[in-house]
């Protein structure tokens, strides 16, 4: 989170939770599109509880893991971690599960093509 992103902070300099959540969904989309070998769409985002504020200058990292797979969908767990601007503390900020569905070039649901 850089000072140039000040539109994503409140009057106290804390990053809006919606900004953090939108990047978590993006992380899930990136991971699921790699696994699905193509286009995906987000069909649900689980609840997010924020355990720690995110100050301007925090290095925010998103870690993903596939936790469930169906014929055309997968659930991606996203953990959000932050490293304080002074580098003295690393802490978990939040986590959520995002369900992604594989789609073709016309936006129709398709089967996943793992291992092909």
CATH of the domain at 49: 3.10.129.10
Tell me the residue range of the domain where 24 lies.
3-102
Does residue 116 register a pLDDT over 70? no
69 CB-contact burial (10 Å; exposed 0-12 / middle 13-18 / buried 19+): middle
% residues pLDDT > 70 (the chain): 91
**107 located within any domain:** no
- Residues 35-57 pLDDT 10s: 999 999 999 999 999 998 888 88
Cβ-based neighbour number of residue 68 at 10 Å: 11
Residue 63: pLDDT band (50, 70, 90) is: very high
Indicate whether 59 belongs to any domain: yes
pLDDT at residue number 114? 62
Q: Tell me, yes or no, whether 109 lies in a domain.
A: no
User: What is the pLDDT at residue 7?
Assistant: 67
Q: Within a domain: residue 31?
A: yes
Predicted confidence (pLDDT) at residue 2 exceeds the cutoff of 90? no
pLDDT digits (tens, 9 = 90+) for 75-109: 999 999 999 888 788 999 999 999 999 999 999 99
What pLDDT is attached to residue 28?
98
Contact 13, 88 (CB under 8 A): no
Q: Is residue 16 a part of any domain in this protein?
A: yes
User: How many folded domains does the chain comprise?
Assistant: 1
Which residues contact residue 66 at a Cβ distance below 8 angstroms, ignoring those fewer than 6 apart?
31, 32, 35, 74, 75, 76, 77
Instruction: Decide if 115 is inside a domain.
Output: no
Identify whether 49 is part of a domain: yes
Q: What is the pLDDT of residue 5?
A: 53
Q: Is residue 19 part of a domain?
A: yes
């Amino acid at each position: 989170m850089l000072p140039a992103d000040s539109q994503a902070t409140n009057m106290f300099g804390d990053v809006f939770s919606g900004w953090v959540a939108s990047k978590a969904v993006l992380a899930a989309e990136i991971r699921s599109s790699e696994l699905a070998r193509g286009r995906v769409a987000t069909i649900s985002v689980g609840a997010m509880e924020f355990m720690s504020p995110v100050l301007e200058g925090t290095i925010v990292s998103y870690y993903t893991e596939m936790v469930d797979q169906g014929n055309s969908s997968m659930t991606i767990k996203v953990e959000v971690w932050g490293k304080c601007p002074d580098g003295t503390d690393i802490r978990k900020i939040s986590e959520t599960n995002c369900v992604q569905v594989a789609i073709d070039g016309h936006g129709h649901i398709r089967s996943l093509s793992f291992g092909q």
